[in-house]
Amino acid sequence: MRRAVIAAAVLTASVAVTLTPMTSSAAAPYKGANTAAVQDDFNGDGYRDLAVGAPNAANGSVEEAGAVAVLYGSKSSVSATRRTVITQATSGIPGDPEAWDEFGRTVASADLDRDGYADLIVGIPHESVGGVDARGMVTVVWGGPSGLRGGASIAPPAGFGKDRTYCRFGMSLATGDMNGDGAPELGVGSDCEASSYSGPFTRTGRAASQYRESRVNSRGVVMGDVNGDGKAERFYLAGPTTGDLRGPVHLDTGAPDPEDYSANWPADLPYADGHAGQIGDVNGDGYGDLVTGVADDDRTMNEAGAGHKGGEIQVLYGSAQGISAGQKPKVFHQDTAGVPGGAEWGDLFGQSLSVGDVNKDGYADVLIGSPDEAVGTRQRAGTAVLLRGSATGLTTAKAAGYTQDTTDVPGAVETGDAFGQAVHLADLNGDGRAETVVAAPTENNDGCLWIARGSASGPVLKGSVNLCGKSAGITVRGVKGYFGAALTSPHVEQ
């Protein structure tokens, strides 16, 4: 094994904003809010919704307090007018808007209280708690027939981050049903240690059970079913560590035993790497596949041994046996034949990724963000690349790259837009084909999203839209709002 020791991670990730509730037309919740098809359905109308973090949004005169805009799905997809904007000044939401809290730095969803409506989970990793700087907080906002309303804090397990500061609890979030009881589990990553919660949750934010996993670092958490048994597995991603800049990957095997520290020790996947990831069925065999991103290269890390020049993604294929320790991943980067673009130092290919079926062919596709890629002479303009799933796995056949210079993609390429810092594939209009969502959080002073509907041939560029933060209800003052810095698909939190 090439990893003998797991070391500490070396990288770092007054007036309320207008709240516009969206009333559902459904008489009863759409059952199955924890399934992949409708996991983000907060108002129970059968359409997935789009949660967009704007962590640098102002709240009145308070800079970088943060906000989350939720755009409600419909037959015509999402729009800026069908929305709810949530901040810590919103009635029923715990905490107070404070400068640099960055509410909405991460977002996720699941039906935590098992009432048939998805709930919004918001990470606030920079929140100071009890006088401890950047200890971090996680808030849940409850879904219901009128959309999102009311919330609670999810507290770290006992002993979390003892005598430490800057733990950044909530810097990654993942959900999945690990025991098959219909109530999702929640994994929370941080700079200190991983936290695990088993549902269902009460409306006070209390889980049925919880524990902290202090034996491995876990800046990133990934959950999904990779062995076809209907139960999610959980993978811990430490991020770059001393001696392993590409990032260790571990499979959770259960809670620590206070009587035997070595019992249920997370299993090392010695050939796998990744700083963030997501699970989806890329080859259509009924088993989830683990897709991870290693965006940092030797230049961005200032040290040899990081990801491929410009960044890379890896794919580990699931099976009836799951993902084994001896499995070697399939690696893709911009030097791989057929992948659009060219690998250049510091592109951050794999900074964000999302797994979903854009053309309803039964194979999940992978969208990859490369936010620091130059477009012509415009540095850090950013790009997104779509690789297609197939019966043989992820392929470069029909691969496509998108920038704001691509014909029919709205907007204009500008230096520093960071197009691709967050990406997302999700069926927002109920036609079975995932929309393509790409964020450019530093475009203008608020940040924007590009949204293209899916079709049998892939994303439809003609008629696609550019939706920006101010139109979606966020407030911007002297600091850019970073609308789109977080979507419910993963990104690497610096």
**Averaged pLDDT, 272-285:** 97
Percentage of the chain beyond pLDDT 90 is 86
328: number of Cβ within 10 Å: 11
- Is pLDDT above 70 for 348? yes
**Averaged pLDDT, 209-236:** 94
pLDDT digits (tens, 9 = 90+) for 357-401: 999 999 999 999 999 999 999 999 999 999 999 999 999 999 999
Q: Which of 48, 12, 46, 56 is nearest to 482 (CA)?
A: 56
pLDDT digits (tens, 9 = 90+) for 130-159: 888 999 999 999 999 999 999 999 999 999
- Is pLDDT above 70 for 38? no
- Is pLDDT above 90 for 160? yes
**Tokens at residue 37, please?**
């098809």
pLDDT-derived band of residue 37, with 50, 70 and 90 as boundaries?
A: very low
User: The tokens 């000044």 sit on which residue?
Assistant: 89
The answer to whether 391 and 363 are in contact (CB under 8 A) is: yes
**Tokens at residue 170, please?**
């909530």
Q: In degrees to the nearest 10, what's the CA dihedral of 107, 105, 100, 90?
A: -20
pLDDT-derived band of residue 182, with 50, 70 and 90 as boundaries?
A: confident
Q: What pLDDT shows up at residue 119?
A: 95
> Sign of dihedral through CA atoms 375, 379, 381, 384?
positive
Residue 11, SS3 per DSSP = coil
pLDDT digits (tens, 9 = 90+) for 442-472: 999 999 999 999 999 999 999 999 999 999 9
pLDDT-derived band of residue 66, with 50, 70 and 90 as boundaries?
A: very high
Q: Which of 344, 343, 333 is nearest to 399 (CA)?
A: 333
pLDDT-derived band of residue 29, with 50, 70 and 90 as boundaries?
A: low
- The pTM of the full predicted model, rounded to 2 decimals, is 0.93
H or E, element range at 301: helix 298-301
Average per-residue pLDDT for the chain: 91
pLDDT-derived band of residue 35, with 50, 70 and 90 as boundaries?
A: low
**Averaged pLDDT, 279-308:** 96
335: exposed, middle or buried (Cβ count in 10 Å: 0-12, 13-18, 19+):
middle
Residue 294's alpha-carbon distances to 27, 212, 277, 342, in angstroms, are 45, 25, 9, 16
CA distance 371 to 348: 6
**Averaged pLDDT, 110-119:** 92
**Averaged pLDDT, 267-294:** 97
480 phi-psi bin (left φ>0, alpha ψ -120 to 50, beta other): beta
